[in-house]
């Protein structure tokens, strides 16, 4: 089983517009598929590969231009500063889980396997899926299932969890499925479980908060003309990326300077999102929800 099959590989690497002597950052190293392609295009340039999951260390690429950082990308600017890097030529983020997370039963990300409710990408982080399911208040459960799971009706789902956990703690993925199976729409059970698990995992890993923190650092650290390339798999993430690239904030509001001129940080390279081809979707079903956006840091003269 491969650790991960890279998604939109050619499109995203082309989007980085790699200079052989430049400095690049792959914020989501995973199986190293994207990093490997970046390294092929570097001569004296450097690539920093980040991953918060120590399992990704097994994929470290033996190349003198490559530096692996086992950390959360929400701190990437500080990590780079530690390596004496102030500005970079390109940043790639391929958000979310790797296939390894889903295929490794003990990580607890998949409803196909029975495992402890875990779902942490960083196995040293404090918050687990067990905590979310067994300790969160009803209004927080409503919020995460609606926002992160994109589920319309969550009332029965949340009530089933609340009443089951009064009897005993919900400890495993299969126990959770047993508790929620009555709330699943008939013949659409798998999609429903996938949405429930997605919501829990986004909460456990604070994926929306870390994405915002990471994006906000990109406009400071990219050189003029530097590229920001993001692949997202969820409409909430994609909206944040789109608004940020368009206006430098997450609401998509136009910012103005003291003279009333619109402040622009990025130029959009692709006006329409790039999605995988039918061929890619056929060979890699996990590519299906991928959306790629590419932006360039505005040059001073623009
Ligand atoms: C979709 S996979 C990337 C796969 C990679 N592009 C490849 O070709 O193999 C996302 C990876 O990013 C890591 N990741 C997700 N959020 C992160 C974060 N906030 N900080 C650091 N790594 C993160 C995950 O652990 C996972 O390995």
Q: Please give the chain's pLDDT, 302 residues, in tens.
A: 889 999 999 999 999 999 999 999 999 999 999 999 999 999 999 999 999 999 999 999 999 999 999 999 999 999 999 999 999 999 999 999 999 999 999 999 999 999 999 999 999 999 999 999 999 999 999 999 999 999 988 999 999 999 999 999 999 999 999 999 999 999 999 999 999 999 999 999 999 999 999 999 999 999 999 999 999 999 999 999 999 999 999 999 998 888 998 889 999 999 899 999 999 999 999 999 999 999 999 987 66
> What pLDDT, on the 0 to 100 scale, is given for residue 39?
98
Spell out the residues 6+ positions from residue 37 whose beta carbon is closer than 8 angstroms to its own: 6, 9, 13
Task: Determine whether the shortest distance from the Cβ of 248 to ligand 1 is under 6 A.
Answer: no
Cα–ligand 1 centroid distance for 50 (angstroms) = 8
| Atom number of ligand 1 nearest to Cα 73 | 20
Listing from the earlier edge strand, what are the strands of the sheet with 88-94? 66-69, 46-50, 23-26, 88-94, 222-232, 291-297, 266-268
With beta carbons less than 8 A apart as the criterion, state whether 78 and 10 touch: no
Nearest atom, ligand 1, residue 233 CA: 1
Compute, in angstroms, the gap from residue 95 CA to the centroid of ligand 1.
Answer: 6
The pLDDT assigned to 299 comes to: 84
- Please tell me if the CB atom of residue 50 comes closer than 6 angstroms to any atom of ligand 1: yes
Q: Ligand 1 within 6 A of 12 CB?
A: no
Give which of 182, 149, 150 is closest to 164, Cα–Cα: 182
Our answer on whether the CB atom of 120 is closer than 6 Å to any ligand 1 atom is no
Q: Is the CB of 110 under 6 A from ligand 1?
A: no
The ligand 1 atom nearest the CA atom of 121? 25
Cβ(293)–Cβ(271) below 8 Å: no
The protein residue with its alpha carbon nearest to ligand 1, atom 24, reads: 97
Burial of 216 (0-12, 13-18, 19+ CB in 10 A): middle
């Amino acid at each position: 089983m491969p650790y991960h099959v890279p998604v939109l590989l050619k499109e995203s690497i082309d989007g980085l517009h790699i200079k052989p002597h430049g400095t690049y950052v792959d914020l989501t190293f995973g199986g190293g598929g994207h990093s490997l392609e970046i390294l092929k295009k570097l001569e004296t340039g450097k690539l920093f590969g980040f991953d918060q999951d120590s399992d990704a260390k097994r994929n470290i690429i033996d190349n003198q231009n490559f530096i692996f950082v086992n950390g959360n990308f929400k701190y990437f600017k500080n990590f780079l500063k530690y390596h004496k890097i102030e500005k970079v030529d390109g940043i790639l983020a391929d958000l979310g889980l790797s296939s390894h997370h889903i295929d490794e039963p003990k990580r607890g990300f998949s409803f196909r396997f029975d495992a402890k409710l875990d779902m942490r990408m960083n196995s040293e982080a404090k918050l687990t899926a067990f905590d979310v399911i067994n300790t969160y208040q009803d209004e927080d459960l409503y919020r995460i299932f609606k926002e992160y799971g994109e589920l319309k009706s969550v009332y029965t789902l949340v009530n089933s969890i609340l009443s089951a956990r009064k009897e005993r703690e919900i400890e495993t993925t299969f126990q959770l499925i047993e508790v929620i199976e009555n709330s699943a729409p008939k013949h659409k059970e798998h999609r429903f479980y996938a949405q429930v698990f997605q919501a829990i995992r986004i909460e456990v890993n604070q994926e929306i908060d870390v994405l915002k923190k990471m994006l906000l650092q990109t406009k400071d650290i990219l050189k003029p003309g530097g590229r920001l390339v993001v692949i997202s798999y969820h409409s909430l993430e994609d909206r944040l990326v789109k608004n940020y690239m368009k206006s430098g904030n997450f609401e998509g509001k136009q910012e103005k300077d003291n003279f009333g001129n619109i402040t622009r940080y990025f130029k959009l390279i692709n006006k329409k999102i790039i999605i995988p081809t039918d061929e890619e979707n056929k060979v890699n079903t996990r590519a299906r929800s991928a959306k790629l956006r590419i932006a360039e840091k505005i040059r001073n003269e623009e």
